[in-house]
């Protein structure tokens, strides 16, 4: 019944708007309106063009001022993070300059040269020098960006797997994440989803006969020692997922049937990150919002929202089904000692089987 | 060729009697087919936009009961709370409809059909029959797509990119059952329709130009449609192959895209395939597709801007060269959608290089448009406003492409709202503006009546402000790391401080969406009650305005006009009027502008 009423109301609202537009339309009919822009229209729209230019600039300033200093633009927590952020800032500055100038020219010309009866436009069809200039300038600027970008990309993607690297498997399934640590031998045991044996609690399909697999440790939280390079080997058991760790400027898809990889070195522990002034502000702001939202919840008889405390997160960033929006894992970056203590508490694969 | 066409057509076309069915339904006349495309595209557009408004409301006010959802979504919104499955379906079908049904068929289908024969001076398309089949296949695919919305387990919901395995396995997602089957069937038919249309456009432009219409005298609209058709012919078959292989995987147990899958307690038999292969095949069309969408809009905008600036388009040859360069580059950049797909990082380097190269011809075009305005005598008709708006959104959207296309930067903003903002501005809103500009400009040619200009102004200004209001702040929540396609962000307190941005965006979207009613009213009422047009309302040079207002089979009474000059002789010194149509012979001693 409510549905029917809603549709009726909607229909009436639409009819009302339709009628209002029609009245407006009819009111115009008597005037000598040719529906072709006259000088008055040109003038009005010329000024509106200037107004729109102001709107763009103001919107830009407001956005930068209110949301420009988002912790993801700075405050990265991995060794390669500052490189990406640098490149991002340089590109951004460049883009803002070009945006500001070209939008100005476009809208200012639209205002300045608004049509007037009797004026004749300049017959100006071509200029090879100009074409050359605005071909060559983007070429040079882009060449710089391409080279800088490629160096950064190569550095990030070329991971050498040496003795010192911690190898961790990220395992994705609808709709959660698991991590598998390689144990003392620092070698992950072989695995394939065909070996999954739910009855024996072998949920990741680890090869039980592989000696390297015996000391592997499967966890539901990701702990990383600070300052130590970590190489993620990613697997998915069902559909595409994407391991997105925004604070570490890291992302890689998890693809069923193949192993993908991404490596980085975490540089800031969770504890230290919580203490940065930026993060303190952000968390305080978020908690203010949560308290505000809790008021309406309590009024409705629901529980208040929990206080938020910052944690690094691993999010799924490739559409993977119904609960895609809630596929996350907590990441904890800690000192080597804390990490050692935590990992030694975890059960080895051999001991976890039924 | 054209001489032959002349005599032949005069005999046949003028004497054959049209019934209602041959005139309005199974018409082979390109002008009627163009209108059919336009109206079908507009109706699909209304559906697509309404979907976006619904999921925007869900993002802004997550999981709050909404009577609108209850009314429109039925069982998918129990007590008015939108279901997570239908959220993904709405996102998926919105993307599919807007990209293919509105901005490919609705834009290119309408204006290629309307303008190619009229602007090159042909009596009709090379094959009227194929043209008719092309439209009806498009209509059929639209119907199937709409029917898929009513399937029991839900319409396709794996995102418009339908990556397997999600799209291949009904156990992975409700929408991957019958809904996805219908989606694939609909798209296969759509591709057939596009190919028939594109072949027709190419053949017509090559063979049926009137006497004197050399390639370098063609309006830029025709160049854009011509090159778009070529890109379509090159890339759409690849999507068809991807769709066919996916159908095989889904229905016949092959393993092109699937391997090693454990789902709902059992190991599936698939082995040896790779989802990454699908991504390559999909984006081999998927990326050129954005140029299939934007190039026709660029062509329309170039033409409208020159006409309304009363100036030649600046750098005609550079414009053609950049269209060709964009078309070529568009086929070798698809990998920039796959930087983090797990493909070899070296490939990422190559695709970064080719991708950023596209910025060069794009920049040339933007500068040429701006220079076209310089020292013009700008007639602010609604079409002109949308053209200027097009350049504005194309610039702001195109610039962020430099970020997206840089593999190192893409790592952190891939699949966040940043990309959503980027592509909506650069190909969604821009192409839509191009389409609106085209409709306002050629409405008199299509229906013999004018659209109301004041309603047009209201439509443009509200749309322009709302489009910026929606997509500009969206970049910032993307840079804050908010992933797209999340049903709600409430499970991430980390993003709580972005919730108010999402509310602002949704409010802009709702206002902008509702104001499209002004356009719909203007459009449909002007078809019947609009002010009658004069022969050449915008004082334009191109040939379509020399054809009679009343549509006749064969376009021109008597002989087809001959062409003596390019289409941009606006405000040419030595002429009294500020325009010289293409069919006016050169004066004695007048030089044609050819370099």
d(CA B262, CA B360): 46
Instruction: State both tokens at B453.
Output: 């200009």
Residue with tokens 């699937």: B258
Count Cα atoms within 13 angstroms, Cβ side, for B394.
30
pLDDT (average), residues B281-308? 95
B380·A28 Cβ contact <8 A: no
Of B71, B262, B316, the CB nearest to A7: B71
d(CA A4, CA A8): 6
pLDDT surpassing 50 at residue B1? no
- What does the radius of gyration of chain B's CA atoms come to, in whole angstroms? 24
pLDDT for position B440: 96
Residue pair B311/B571 in contact by the 8 Å Cβ criterion: yes
pLDDT for position A73: 62
Instruction: State both tokens at B191.
Output: 């591709």
Report the DSSP beta bridge partners of residue A314.
Answer: A329
Residue pair A261/A252 in contact by the 8 Å Cβ criterion: yes
Residue pair B141/B41 in contact by the 8 Å Cβ criterion: no
B580 is a domain residue: no
pLDDT for position A19: 81
B592 is a domain residue: no
d(CA B89, CA B83): 10
pLDDT for position B271: 92
Q: What is the ipTM of this complex?
A: 0.92
A251·B411 Cβ contact <8 A: yes
A 45-104 → B contacts, CB under 8 A: 45-46, 48-49, 52, 55-56, 59-60, 63, 67-68, 70-73, 83-84, 87-88, 91-92, 94-95, 98-99, 102-103
Of A14, A21, A105, the CB nearest to B455: A21
Residues B489-510 pLDDT 10s: 999 999 998 999 999 999 999 9
* CB contact set of B263 (below 8 Å; sequence gap of 6+): A174, A237, A238, B169, B171, B172
Q: How many CB pairs under 8 A join A and B?
A: 419
A103·B396 Cβ contact <8 A: yes
Strand order from edge to edge, sheet including A230-236:
A217-219, A176-181, A166-173, A230-236, A260-264
d(CA A93, CA A99): 10
CA–CA min distance B556, chain A (Å): 25
Low-confidence ranges of chain A (pLDDT < 50): none
* CB contact set of A118 (below 8 Å; sequence gap of 6+): none
B377·A313 Cβ contact <8 A: no
pLDDT surpassing 80 at residue B39? yes
Sign of CA dihedral B64, B68, B73, B78: positive
Residues B41-54 pLDDT 10s: 999 999 999 999 99
- What does the radius of gyration of chain A's CA atoms come to, in whole angstroms? 29
- pTM of the model as a whole: 0.93
Give the C-alpha distances (Å, rounded to integers) separating B224 from A109, B115, B315, B388.
25, 11, 15, 18
Residues B296-305 pLDDT 10s: 999 999 999 9
CA–CA min distance A152, chain B (Å): 6
User: B10: pLDDT confidence band, cut at 50, 70 and 90?
Assistant: very low
Residue pair B438/B446 in contact by the 8 Å Cβ criterion: no
Instruction: Spell out which residues of chain A touch residue B316, defining contact as CB-CB under 8 Å.
Output: 125-126
**Domains contained in chain B, number:** 1
Domain range for B490:
2-15+33-546
* CB contact set of B344 (below 8 Å; sequence gap of 6+): none
pLDDT for position B8: 46
Report the DSSP beta bridge partners of residue A234.
Answer: A170, A260
A 207-226 → B contacts, CB under 8 A: none
The DSSP result for B278-303, as a single string, is HHHHHHHHHHHHHHHHHHHHHHHHHH
Residues written for chain B: 595
* CB contact set of A115 (below 8 Å; sequence gap of 6+): A37, A39, A42, B310, B376, B377, B378, B379, B380
**Does an H or E element contain A284, and which?**
helix A277-299
Give the C-alpha distances (Å, rounded to integers) separating B32 from A226, B225, B528.
68, 18, 16
Residue pair A161/A225 in contact by the 8 Å Cβ criterion: no
A 274-303 → B contacts, CB under 8 A: 282, 285-286, 289-290, 293
Name which residue leads in pLDDT, B74 or A324: A324
pLDDT surpassing 90 at residue B281? yes
pLDDT for position A160: 74
* CB contact set of A348 (below 8 Å; sequence gap of 6+): A183, A214, A215, A216, A217
pLDDT for position A18: 80
Where is average pLDDT lowest: B60-69, B301-310, B535-544?
A: B60-69
B46 is a domain residue: yes
B406·A121 Cβ contact <8 A: no
Among candidate residues A229, A306, A305, A309, the one with its CA nearest the CA of residue A270:
A309
pLDDT for position A28: 63
B586 is a domain residue: no
A1 in reach of chain B (CB within 8 A): no
d(CA B493, CA B496): 5
pLDDT surpassing 80 at residue B593? no
Instruction: Spell out which residues of chain A touch residue B357, defining contact as CB-CB under 8 Å.
Output: 142
What is the bridge-based pairing of β-strands B266-267 and B262-263?
Answer: antiparallel
pLDDT for position B6: 46
Instruction: Spell out which residues of chain A touch residue B485, defining contact as CB-CB under 8 Å.
Output: 319, 324-325
pLDDT surpassing 90 at residue B529? no
Of A5, A308, A325, the CB nearest to B84: A325
Instruction: State both tokens at A254.
Output: 């998890």
Residues written for chain A: 354
Instruction: For domain A166-272+307-352, give the fold.
Output: Immunoglobulin-like (2.60.40)
d(CA B12, CA B14): 6
pLDDT surpassing 60 at residue B2? no
State the burial class of residue A124 (Cβ atoms within 10 Å of its Cβ: 0-12, 13-18, 19+).
middle
Residues B226-256 pLDDT 10s: 999 999 999 999 999 999 999 999 999 999 9
User: B469: pLDDT confidence band, cut at 50, 70 and 90?
Assistant: very high
Least CA distance to A159: which residue of chain B?
Answer: B345
A317·B274 Cβ contact <8 A: no
User: B4: pLDDT confidence band, cut at 50, 70 and 90?
Assistant: very low
B574 is a domain residue: no
User: CATH no. for residue B440?
Assistant: 1.20.210.10
CA angle B256, B258, B260 (to 5 degrees): 135
Instruction: Spell out which residues of chain A touch residue B359, defining contact as CB-CB under 8 Å.
Output: 138, 142
How much is the mean pLDDT over chain B? Answer: 92
Give the C-alpha distances (Å, rounded to integers) separating A341 from A185, A336, A337, A345.
17, 9, 6, 7
Instruction: State both tokens at B166.
Output: 């999600």
Share of chain B above pLDDT 70, in %: 97
B159·A319 Cβ contact <8 A: yes
The DSSP result for B163-232, as a single string, is -TTTTT-TTT-GGGTHHHHHHHHHHHHHHHHHHHHHHHHHHHHHH-PPTT--GGGS-HHHHHHHHHHHHH
Instruction: Spell out which residues of chain A touch residue B258, defining contact as CB-CB under 8 Å.
Output: 256-257
Instruction: Spell out which residues of chain B touch residue A293, defining contact as CB-CB under 8 Å.
Output: 496
pLDDT (average), residues B425-432? 95
């Amino acid at each position: 019944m409510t549905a029917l009423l809603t549709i009726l109301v909607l229909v009436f609202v639409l009819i009302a708007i339709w009628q209002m537009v029609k009245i407006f339309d009819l009111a115009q009919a008597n005037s000598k309106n040719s529906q072709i822009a006259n000088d008055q229209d040109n003038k009005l729209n010329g000024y509106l063009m200037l107004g729109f230019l102001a709107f763009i600039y103001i919107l830009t300033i407001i956005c930068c001022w209110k949301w420009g200093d988002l912790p993801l633009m700075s405050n990265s927590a991995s060794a390669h993070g500052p490189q990406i952020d640098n490149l991002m800032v340089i590109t951004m500055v460049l883009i803002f300059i070009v945006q500001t100038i070209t939008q100005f020219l476009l809208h200012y010309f639209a205002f300045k040269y608004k049509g007037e009866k009797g004026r004749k436009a300049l017959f100006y069809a071509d200029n090879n020098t100009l074409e050359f200039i605005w071909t060559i300038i983007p070429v040079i600027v882009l060449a710089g960006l391409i080279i800088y970008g490629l160096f950064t990309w190569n550095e990030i993607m070329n991971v050498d797997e040496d003795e010192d690297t911690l190898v961790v498997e990220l395992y994705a399934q609808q709709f959660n994440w698991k991590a598998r640590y390689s144990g003392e031998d620092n070698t992950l045991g072989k695995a394939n989803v065909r070996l999954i044996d739910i009855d024996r609690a072998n949920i990741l399909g680890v090869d039980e006969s592989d000696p390297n697999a015996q000391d592997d440790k499967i966890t539901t939280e990701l702990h990383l020692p600070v300052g130590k390079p970590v190489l993620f080997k990613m697997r998915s058991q069902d559909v595409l997922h994407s391991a997105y760790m925004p604070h570490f400027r890291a992302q890689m898809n998890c693809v069923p049937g193949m192993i993908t990889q991404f490596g980085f070195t975490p540089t800031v522990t969770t504890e230290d990150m919580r203490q940065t002034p930026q993060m303190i502000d952000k968390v305080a702001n978020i908690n203010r919002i949560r308290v505000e939202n809790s008021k309406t919840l309590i009024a409705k008889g629901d529980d208040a929202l929990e206080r938020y405390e910052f944690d690094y997160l691993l999010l799924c960033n490739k559409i993977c089904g119904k609960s895609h929006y809630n596929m996350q894992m907590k990441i904890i970056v800690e000192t080597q000692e804390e990490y050692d203590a935590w990992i030694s508490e975890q059960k080895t694969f051999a001991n976890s089987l039924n | 060729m054209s001489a032959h066409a002349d005599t032949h057509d005069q005999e046949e076309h003028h004497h054959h009697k049209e019934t209602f069915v041959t005139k309005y339904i199974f018409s082979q006349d390109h002008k009627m087919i163009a209108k059919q495309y336009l109206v079908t595209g507009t109706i699909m557009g209304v559906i697509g936009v309404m979907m976006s408004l619904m999921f925007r409301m869900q993002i802004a006010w997550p999981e709050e009961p909404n009577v609108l959802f209850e009314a429109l979504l039925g069982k998918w919104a129990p007590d008015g709370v939108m279901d997570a499955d239908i959220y993904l379906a709405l996102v998926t079908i919105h993307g599919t409809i807007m990209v293919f049904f509105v901005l490919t068929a609705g834009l290119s289908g309408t204006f290629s059909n309307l303008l190619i024969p009229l602007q090159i001076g042909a009596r009709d398309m090379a094959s009227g029959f194929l043209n008719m089949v092309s439209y009806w296949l498009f209509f059929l695919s639209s119907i199937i797509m709409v029917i898929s919305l009513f399937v029991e387990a839900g319409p396709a919901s794996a995102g418009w990119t339908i990556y397997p395995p999600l799209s291949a396995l009904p156990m992975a997602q409700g929408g991957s059952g019958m809904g996805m089957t219908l989606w694939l069937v609909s798209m296969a038919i759509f591709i057939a329709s596009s190919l028939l249309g594109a072949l027709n456009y190419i053949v017509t432009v090559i063979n049926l130009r009137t006497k004197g219409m050399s390639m370098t005298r063609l309006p830029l609209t025709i160049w854009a449609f011509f090159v778009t058709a070529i890109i379509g012919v090159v890339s759409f078959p690849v999507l068809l192959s991807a769709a066919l292989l996916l159908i095989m995987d889904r229905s016949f147990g092959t393993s092109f895209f699937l391997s090693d899958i454990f789902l709902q307690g059992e190991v599936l038999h698939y082995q040896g395939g790779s989802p990454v292969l699908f991504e390559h095949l999909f984006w081999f069309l998927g990326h050129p597709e954005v140029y299939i969408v934007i190039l026709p809009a660029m062509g329309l905008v170039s033409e409208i801007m020159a006409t309304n600036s009363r100036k030649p388009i600046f750098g005609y040859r550079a414009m053609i060269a950049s269209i060709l360069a964009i078309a070529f580059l568009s086929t070798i950049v698809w990998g920039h959608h796959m930087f983090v797909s797990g493909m070899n990082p070296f490939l990422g380097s190559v695709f970064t290089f080719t991708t950023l190269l596209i910025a060069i011809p794009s920049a040339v075009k933007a500068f040429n448009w701006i220079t076209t305005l310089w020292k013009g005598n700008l007639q602010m008709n609604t079409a002109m406003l949308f053209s200027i708006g097009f350049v504005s959104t194309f610039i702001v959207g195109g610039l962020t492409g430099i970020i997206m296309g840089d593999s190192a930067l893409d790592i952190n903003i891939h699949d966040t709202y940043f990309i959503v903002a980027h592509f909506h501005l650069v190909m969604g809103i821009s192409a839509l503006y191009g389409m609106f500009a085209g409709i306002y400009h050629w409405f008199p040619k299509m229906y013999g009546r004018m659209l109301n200009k004041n309603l047009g102004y209201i439509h443009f200004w509200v749309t322009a402000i709302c489009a910026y209001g929606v997509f500009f702040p969206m970049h910032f929540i993307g840079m804050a790391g908010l992933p797209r396609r999340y049903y709600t962000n409430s499970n991430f307190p980390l993003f709580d401080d972005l919730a108010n941005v999402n509310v602002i965006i949704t409010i802009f979207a709702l206002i902008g969406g509702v104001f499209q009613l002004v356009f719909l009213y203007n459009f449909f009422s002007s078809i019947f009650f609009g002010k009658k047009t004069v022969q050449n309302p915008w004082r334009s040079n191109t040939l379509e305005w020399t054809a009679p207002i009343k549509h006749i089979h064969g376009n021109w009474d008597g002989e087809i006009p001959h062409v003596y000059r390019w289409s941009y002789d606006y405000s040419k010194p030595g002429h009294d009027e500020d325009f010289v149509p293409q069919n006016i012979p050169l004066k004695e001693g007048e030089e044609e502008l050819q370099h």
